[in-house]
Amino acid sequence: MKKIFYTSSAVLFLTLSYGENIDEGKILFENKCTACHTAARPSTPEAMNSLIAPPMQGVMLHVNMAFDYDKKAAIAFIKDYTLNPSKEKALCMPLKIDRFGLMPSQKGSVTTEELDKIANYLTIAY
């Protein structure tokens, strides 16, 4: 009986802390990234035309494909690109950079700890 209690407490604890991290990542993403990136591809042509950065849905599709759905590699890329963006590193179509310009480095507006949570959230959400 005791054993069952301890096991279910451990599972509950793990579930809660896992969920908390995801929520934190989601909130940080909304606060730090959605000023430019919408979460999903907009459904109207007007909204498509007023985008100022590629929607995260599309960004993550390219990131996941480029790293063959390797979560660790995707997280490393997102973290590096967000702080040190460059044309050479960009995975998205060159047309995207022509249209939106290169992403400005987010150094100073996001900490590496926050970025860890954001990148982790993105690889789970998309």
Q: Contact between 123 and ligand HEC (CB under 6 A)?
A: no
Record the tokens describing residue 123, joined without a space: 């690889």
Record the tokens describing residue 37, joined without a space: 């990136």
Q: Contact between 100 and ligand HEC (CB under 6 A)?
A: yes
* Number of residues near ligand HEC (by CB under 6 A): 26
Task: Select from 87, 92, 83, 84 the least CA-distant residue to 102.
Answer: 87
Three-state DSSP at 15 gives: helix
Give 9 or 99: the residue with its C-beta nearer to ligand HEC. Answer: 99
Distance of CA 103 to the CA centre of its chain: 14
Per-position x/- string for 22-61, each x denoting binding to ligand HEC as judged by CB under 6 A, each - no binding: ----------xx-xxx---------------xx----x--
d(CA 63, CA 49): 23
Give the interface with ligand HEC as residue ranges (CB under 6 A). Answer: 32-33, 35-37, 53-54, 59, 63, 78, 81-82, 85, 90-92, 96-97, 100-104, 106, 110, 118
